[in-house]
Amino acid sequence: MEHLPGRSAFLLPLLMSISSLIIAQTTSLEVRLDPIVEAQELAAVEEPLDLDTFIRAAFVFSGVSGKELPGAEAEIRVHLAALRQDSAGIVDPRERAEAALAFMHETILTRYDERQTRLEILLSRGSYNCVSSGVLYAIFLKAFGLKVWGVRTADHAFCRVQAGDKAFDVETTSAYGFDPGTRKEFTDSFGQVTGYSYVPPSNYRDRRDIGEGGLLGLILFNRSAFSSERRDYARAVPPAVDAYALLQDAESHERMITALLNLASWYGMNGRFEEALTFLDRAALRYSEERLDALRADLIHNWTLSLVQKGEYVEAEELLDLQFEGGRMAEQEWRELTVYLYQLQAQSWARGDFSEAARLIQEGINKVGSDQSLTKSYEVYIHNSVVALVRAERYQDALSVLEEALSQVPTSRVLQDDKSMVLKTAGR
């Protein structure tokens, strides 16, 4: 009989953050798929961003809610006022940029934490990573009227500032990070604290400028990636959606699609198939992507097999028919799974009633049309039923069964031979 193995919907390799417990997932209908308005609006704004816009975006992208925003913005302005007072006598742009970095480390930053990418937590706890410290530094420099932007490497981020007629790298995770290639204190301490290596400007293959929006977008990338690392796939989706709305590039699109696929796969792997399909249908309405459709097919396949394993054949057939008739399942996939379903049911009946097994197979043929495996099974079950009748010397019943079967498959050599055997045995 036909064997149809299951297809596993594995979680995709997680896209790690540039820095790099299972949590209960929310229901699929609660997961936000529409980007926040701040991300959409910022995507249309030309850089350099004004200070207020940059500050608000930094907090919103960090996850600060609307009612908490005024307090967070007021807190950052207290620090800006203190910075201005602390550097009141400094006029030279480079000296101002250096003073801002020193001020951060002396008054706010206390502990490097690779996964602490949120600005409001940086302010409240002093813990930071390359992204959150870079965003804070950019706020300070923008308050001075200096041009500042983000720089990325394969696994790290830092800032670059235009001070006068020269531009300088700034590793914001270190108090000695201004123009770091020239500072012995920096090279002695940086790698030990953060685990990263400084990439000098001459090594252009491993670094690229990402602007102000790109720097802010790293907050969203990190929040999504860190949630995925914790297997909290529901919380990984919204920031990935927001990042794509903000950046609208290939990387943000790939990260978003990965987040969508990971959550749908997680639902499926935990037997929450209906939620998985509901989520994928919602996602497909917003984001056209072949991989979403492919995963949907895998989930329907696996949901069907899970119902079959529980003996819920009627429910499995209803699921297949509903998906196929709704245009959400390919005909070939529907046929293969329907054939498999009827084969399994027939096998179950064949343990005690070959005629019922044959009837089920015929029902399957009537439903899906001509199918070689079903026809073969039909011949086998009819043959076994006829043999049982002959052994009971019920020759007329055996002939009646064969006549009916041959009307369905008149060219069957097996059944024709069986008819000859019955007639011979009955002495006709």
Question: Distance between CA 303 and CA 298 in Å, rounded?
Answer: 9
pLDDT in tens, 33-74: 999 999 999 999 999 999 999 999 999 999 999 899 999 999
pLDDT in tens, 246-271: 999 999 999 999 999 999 999 999 99
93: nearest Cα among 179, 166, 16, 180: 166
- pLDDT for position 427: 77
Strand partners, 234: none
Q: What local confidence, expressed as pLDDT, does residue 155 receive?
A: 84
CATH match of 330-428 with 1.10.3470:
no
pLDDT at 154: 84
> 130, 172 in Cβ contact below 8 A?
yes
- Tokens 């006598």 locate to 89
Q: How far apart are CA 190 and CA 174, in angstroms?
A: 7
The percent of residues in the chain predicted with pLDDT above 90, rounded, is 82
Pairing type for strands 127-128 and 147-152 reads unpaired
**What whole-number distance in Å separates Cα of residue 52 and Cα of residue 74?**
11
- One-letter identity of residue 336: E
Closest by CA position to 240, among listed 221, 226, 261: 221
- pLDDT under 70: residue ranges of the chain: 1-25, 183-205, 428
User: Angle between the 69-86 and 130-143 helix axes, to the nearest 10 degrees?
Assistant: 60
The CA dihedral of 268, 269, 270, 275, to the nearest 10 degrees, is -10
Burial of 157 (0-12, 13-18, 19+ CB in 10 A): buried
Instruction: Note the residue count of the chain.
Output: 428
Count of C-beta atoms within a 10 Å radius of residue 345:
22
Answer yes or no: are the C-beta atoms of 152 and 145 closer than 8 Å.
no
What pLDDT is stored for residue 29 in this prediction?
78
Cite the residue boundaries of each domain of the chain with CATH code 1.25.40: 330-428
